[in-house]
Amino acid sequence: MSKLVPFETTLEVRDTCLCLHTQRAARALARRFDDALRPVGITNGQFSLLMSLNRPEPPAMAPVAKLLAMDRTTLTAALKPLERQGLVTAEINPDDRRSRLLVLTDRGRETLASAVPIWRETHAAVEAGLPALDACELRTALSALA
């Protein structure tokens, strides 16, 4: 005989679950940034990925995956559309021919440069919409969960 979960438990989870509330907020933020970045042809996830490659020296996959909290397979899948668009290339690492370095192309840097003002404007609007909440404290709390 199966046990039933009372509806009150459903309400408890709906009202208190940090995971649910974080997922909902993340989806809403993702949609907002996706809409804002659409004119430059990238999503918020692609913006984060391109930004993670904006370094003095091209990074290998492992540190990028770690920064973005992705496994290598997910990162590889996320890179494919950016490579097709000519925004990123994966080049053989001259110090370790088994690994690849992720390189922003000129077009990738131009796209990122076009996206940054949009990100700044959208980000400022999001923070302004949190008047009762300190954005710095929120970032600290989210980092503690990550």
Return averaged pLDDT per consecutive 10 residues of the chain, 146 residues in all: 90 95 95 98 98 96 95 96 97 90 97 98 94 88 89
15 assigned to some structural domain: yes
139 assigned to some structural domain: no
Residue 99 phi/psi, 5° resolution?
Answer: -110, 165
Which structural domain, as residue segments, surrounds residue 48? 7-126
What is the per-residue pLDDT for 95? 87
pTM: 0.89
81 assigned to some structural domain: yes
**Closest by CA position to 32, among listed 140, 124, 145, 146:** 124
Q: What does the alpha-carbon distance between residue 58 and residue 100 come to, in Å, rounded to a whole number?
A: 9
134 assigned to some structural domain: no
What is the per-residue pLDDT for 130? 87
Q: What does the alpha-carbon distance between residue 112 and residue 116 come to, in Å, rounded to a whole number?
A: 6
136 assigned to some structural domain: no
What is the per-residue pLDDT for 133? 84
100 assigned to some structural domain: yes
